[in-house]
Amino acid sequence: MRMRFDILTLFPSMFSSPLGESILGRAVEKGLIQIQTINIRDFSLEKHQVVDDAPYGGGQGMVMKVEPIARAIESVKSQNQSSRTIYLTPQGKPFNQDLARRLSTQTHLILLCGRYEGVDERVRDLFVDEEISIGDYVLTGGELAAMVLIDAVSRFIPGVLGSDRSAEEDSFFNSLLEYPQYTRPFNFRGRCVPEVLLSGNHSAISLWRRKEALRRTWVRRPDLLEKANLSGEDKTLLEEIENSSDDGEVSSADGGVCPRAKSQAPNNK
């Protein structure tokens, strides 16, 4: 079930490091994902390989010409039987975890990265299947947006995160923010790790983590709680959180000043 990404860009070298390191780099090495960059400039038939021109009607900046993009897309498609062509633009559908999961079921994505004032409208009309935005801000080009999409989509491909982990297990999948994490040392400048995490009591630890995830979500992203499907126990925990006087972060009795000086290793192995 390997997945292929073809990236159409004027700046192919932007992609080498982000997609070559760490988890994505290993996924490429293992053949789980295949990533190719195509320089749109190579598909210009003009002398000096021109790829942009002034907009009809006048105005600021330059527009990417239709012919080089058309030829590049047709070249990529001629080597693949089922492709979906995506244009990264602030005018597109907002990218999120559900969209990433849906795209991970495709076998081949063509990602078109625009520069300047964007592409000639006929590129969208004739060649683009879907327009996607990674957020309401303006980038200098679609390249970083394409990398964000590839990263989030690749995490759903079996094997990319390692055999024992799946993207579905991440708590965002449950519409909650992550609970706080700690590692050694136990005491850092008087700020200690919550005692429950050293207790070895796994049900107490699970309950604490669930409550802290709920607390963090309630404080920072209450919109997510409306979509989350909460259990009866979750609702009880939320009532406790809402009725407590603390500021919504890990309470200072837990994560703040140490109850007593201690130096301990995690006992969770």
Which parts of this chain interact with ligand 4HQ (CB under 6 A)? 88-90, 114, 118, 133-135, 137-139, 141-142, 145
Which residue shows structure tokens 């780099």? Answer: 25
Six token digits for residue 16: 């080498």
Is residue 233 flagged as an active site residue?
Answer: no
Give the Cα separation of 178 and 180 in Å (integer).
Answer: 7
Beta-strand pair 108-112/3-9: parallel
Is residue 184 flagged as an active site residue?
Answer: no
Which residue lies nearer to ligand 4HQ by CB, 145 or 193?
145
In the complex, least distance from residue 53 CB atom to ligand 4HQ, rounded to whole angstroms: 15
Which residue among the candidates 55, 90, 180, 185 is catalytic per the annotation? 90
In the complex, least distance from residue 123 CB atom to ligand 4HQ, rounded to whole angstroms: 11
Give the Cα separation of 216 and 237 in Å (integer).
Answer: 12
Residues with Cβ within 8 Å of residue 126, at least 6 apart in sequence: 66, 70
Give the Cα separation of 168 and 215 in Å (integer).
Answer: 21
Complete edge-to-edge strand list for the sheet that includes strand 33-39: 33-39, 3-9, 108-112, 84-94, 130-133
For residue 175, give the nearest of 97, 103, 238, 99 by alpha carbon.
97
Is residue 125 flagged as an active site residue?
Answer: no
Which residue lies nearer to ligand 4HQ by CB, 89 or 217?
89
Which residue lies nearer to ligand 4HQ by CB, 92 or 248?
92
In the complex, least distance from residue 2 CB atom to ligand 4HQ, rounded to whole angstroms: 25
Is residue 155 flagged as an active site residue?
Answer: yes
In the complex, least distance from residue 146 CB atom to ligand 4HQ, rounded to whole angstroms: 8
Which residue lies nearer to ligand 4HQ by CB, 60 or 183?
60
In the complex, least distance from residue 87 CB atom to ligand 4HQ, rounded to whole angstroms: 8
Which residue lies nearer to ligand 4HQ by CB, 62 or 196?
62
| Residues catalogued as catalytic | 90, 117, 155, 170
